[in-house]
Structure 1
């Protein structure tokens, strides 16, 4: 037994359930969990947190060294650098002989390029994708929420338009800088079958997206502007589609009751903002309006006033939360002990704190808010726990992330919104900024 393996076996920390596949760099994670030393044979899905299965490339001797390298998905974060010897799978146990003695060798492709010194003549992929004609009910198994009828109707309209113009479906929105994401990747047959099902819950989940928000569209390129469905309960249909730009803040702004209205809103604003896409936007506006009329969907903007009567509070993201509330007994929700303005000031002080002592001082000020919310939950005011968890989540501060998770886990459990509980657990474990959020 190697020294590393012996040291690992004697380590008293909890074993990380992802083992060698874990990509976490968070210090708190590594303090709590132990990870096995890397094995000599490195599988492809160990070297990259997103790739579903190994891509095997057969390399024949005597070929030119200039043949194209194996293609792999290109919307990925770069995996940690590994030596070439680590990237090549020897797999001697299964073959019984050394690859060097064979005329054909199997190479595991890592990241975006192959490390073969010899050229490939044939590539064989042993991972598969969900077929675009797969029963859409699978979507609920993957994303834990059911997509509404307007989602599928809109995709059907794009499909017909793509066939009419002899273009791929995704190209229909290219001219207006809009990209189909999330569940749409399933309908387009682009979603890979993953070993780790949790990864679907992080597919295009932006930094400030709470579990209630499911992204379906984004502005192309490096923009973090995206549009998604917002629902109060995972078992219910979405209430509206909203927009958010995670590069700016956590604010979720309602747009329309359906995706036709949301895209119509986007195109109207695009004609004003961008002279480069003005003509294309105007052309598509007419089509979207026609599609909406054909399927009897309104393109009017969502009226937030009618939601005011339902929500317990607006919350930090502005979209509000809806929880069971008994007006007679006043059980179900009570306001947080501090006003939002005061809490935001505390968050800013924590963000600006330079030393650990300064941080500890601010954290001590925030703790009574969390404690009060916990007491409220114990007294059946579950909405207060949800509000506190959303506030801590929207702060975006890593110092408050564990508190946010605890508050939200308890609140979602008591509200019987288990799908949201699972989503927030996976999201916070893998939460990251930027636009490299796809598993493709």
Structure 2
């Protein structure tokens, strides 16, 4: 039987002593994606990394010498996934289920159903290299979850390092990159301020179990701001094909032809390409706080308005507070400055908020500390976010965050531009 009691956010680990609390709330163990995933060994990474891009997983792990006679699986950057060409619909369904399960094991997030259909479209454009279907038109290469469909990832990659595969400096745990501007494409003459920009597209989930995430973008060379791009991957790429940012400097009709092919494919598969931002607009109305990345956060709010309380400081003053701390010469000065005492007072208020189940306050401030991009705030950010993700039943985000900050602490040697905050 299901318990008539409301579930306690702390579950079996509830620290409360009041008998009335245990009468009103159920304390059964909650199940999360994390219960099925155990991360083990860590793979060392290139200590010379200085880019805000944390890692390209395959460049860091691909062996220098390959012996075909060994049983080890070798990652081939141009290997094509055999799944889409299978003739049996039952086999296709089994393959999708297997890939979904592998996605959850590797990335600790639910796999969007739409990537399988989108991959089929990409194969129609480029059978040998479907990940490059949009290279000529947009300069974008498919990565991340599409590496599963491209047969670049398998069970052997279930380790901590895969969690920072194509993860950039300001990518929060909610952000999962699936497309990047390919810097190696020589014909990539696009109207960006710099050809070395770090514009990338990704899925944004408020909860790791969300199977219908929204599509967002960020350019970590410019700022921590996350921009909404579309309700799904089809509407996003359809819009980008007419986006002035991607207007080619050379005269060709490739984008127009690709857009027409996408329209035809969408029509055959009953995909709506017209209303591209309906879900984005709905989410905008639901957010409790914009956060420094400006895409906002959403947490459950009870009928008695419990779940979130605002920070005692607005975003403008918070940015100034961060900058006053960051611009000091060293960490010792930062720890002793007056601005740091203001920050500690906010953290104290967050602990009170957690006691009263307003978990959104800690989530907001933890994300703001993360988006400062400075290593001095990493410890406080991880502490607050791990608490918030635990209370909100989003525990898998904690593991992604830990790998991100751990790698950043060990390998990045330059601070972000203060104007990026």
TM-score relative to the length of structure 1 = 0.68
Structure 2 counterpart SS, 1:336? coil
Matched, 1:372 2:349: yes
Match of residue 189 from structure 1? 151
CA drift of 1:257 comes to 0.9
| Structure 1 residue aligned with 2:289 | 313
1:273 maps onto 2:250 in alignment: no
Question: Does the CA-based 8 Å contact 2:106-2:158 persist in structure 1?
Answer: no
Q: Matched residues in 1 for 2:56 and 2:291: separation?
A: 33
1:231 to 205, 221, 236: 205
Distance 2:213 2:64 in 1: 44
1:295 aligns with 2:240: no
Shift of 1:430: 1.6
**How many angstroms apart in 1 are the aligned matches of 2:358 and 2:119?**
40
- Tell me, yes or no, if structure 1 residue 426 matches structure 2 residue 403: yes
Is residue 24–residue 430 contact of structure 1 (8 Å, CA) maintained in 2?
A: no
What residue number does 1:13 align with? none
Pick aligned residue for 1:345 from 301, 308, 320: 320
**2-side partners of 1:363 and 1:418: how far apart?**
28
Deviation sequence 1:333-356 (CA, Å, 0-9, x none): 000111111111111222222244
Distance in 2 (alpha carbons) for counterparts of 1:416 and 1:277? 51
Determine the structure 1 residue equivalent to 2:390. 413
Q: Does 1:162 align with 2:162?
A: no
Task: Identify which of structures 1 and 2 has the higher relative contact order when contacts are C-alpha pairs closer than 8 Å and 6+ apart.
Answer: 2
Match of 2:60 among 58, 66, 76: 76
- CA distance in 2 between partners of 1:282 and 1:226 (Å): 22
Distance 1:128 1:433 in 2: 30
| Stretches of structure 2 lacking an aligned partner (at least 5 in a row) | 1-39, 49-54, 76-80, 84-94, 184-195, 414-421
Tell whether the 8 Å contact from 2:131 to 2:143 is kept in structure 1 after alignment: no
Conservation of the 8 A alpha-carbon contact between 1:334 and 1:381: yes
Cα distance between partner residues in 1 of 2:46 and 2:345: 30
Specify the SS of the correspondent of 1:226. Answer: strand
For residues 259 and 112 of structure 1, do their structure 2 counterparts lie closer, same or farther at Cα, with a shift above 3 Å needed? same
Quick one: distance in 2 between partners of 1:364 and 1:251?
27
Distance 1:50 1:158, change over 3 A: closer
Alignment of 1:59-138 (within 5 A): 75-76=59-60, 124-128=69-73, 133=83, 135-137=98-100, 138=102
Contact 1:202 / 1:426 at 8 angstroms: preserved in 2?
yes
Q: 1:189 deviation in Å?
A: 0.7
* Residue pair 1:393, 1:404 contacting (<8 A) in 2 also: yes
Deviation string for 1:221-279 (max 9, x for gaps)? 14311111111111122341111111211111111111011112222125763323753
TM-score, length basis structure 2: 0.71
Relative to structure 1, the CA distance from residue 278 to residue 228 in structure 2 (aligned partners, 3 Å threshold; closer, same or farther) is farther
Unpaired stretches in structure 1, ≥5 consecutive residues: 1-16, 27-48, 52-72, 78-110, 115-119, 435-440
* Inter-partner Cα distance in structure 1 for 2:56 and 2:406: 14
Q: Pick the aligned partner of 2:373 from 361, 382, 396.
A: 396
Alpha-carbon distance between aligned partners in 2 of 1:150 and 1:123, rounded to the nearest angstrom: 35
- 1:264-307 C-alpha deviation (Å, 9 max, x unpaired): 22221257633237532222122222222332233343244422
> What is the CA–CA distance in structure 2 between the aligned matches of 1:146 and 1:289, rounded to whole Å?
27
Query: CA 1:201–1:271 in 2, change beyond 3 Å: closer, same or farther?
Result: closer
Deviations 1:35-71 (A, max 9, x none): xxxxxxxxxxxxxx998xxxxxxxxxxxxxxxxxxxx
Question: How far has the Cα of 1:192 moved from its partner?
Answer: 5.2
SS across alignment from 1:309: helix
* Alignment RMSD (CA, Å): 3.0
Task: For residue 308 of structure 1, report the CA deviation from its aligned partner.
Answer: 3.1
Equivalenced residues, count: 330
Q: SS state of the match for residue 417, structure 1?
A: coil
- Decide whether aligned partners of structure 1 residues 413 and 294 sit closer, same or farther in structure 2, where only a CA change above 3 A counts: same
Who is 1:251 aligned against? 225
**Deviations along 1:13-55, whole A, 9 cap, x unmatched?**
xxxx868x555979xxxxxxxxxxxxxxxxxxxxxx998xxxx
Task: Tell me the distance in 2 between the aligned counterparts of 1:385 and 1:278.
Answer: 50
Find 1:286's aligned residue among 246, 252, 260: 260
- Aligned equivalents of 2:155 and 2:251: distance in 1? 36
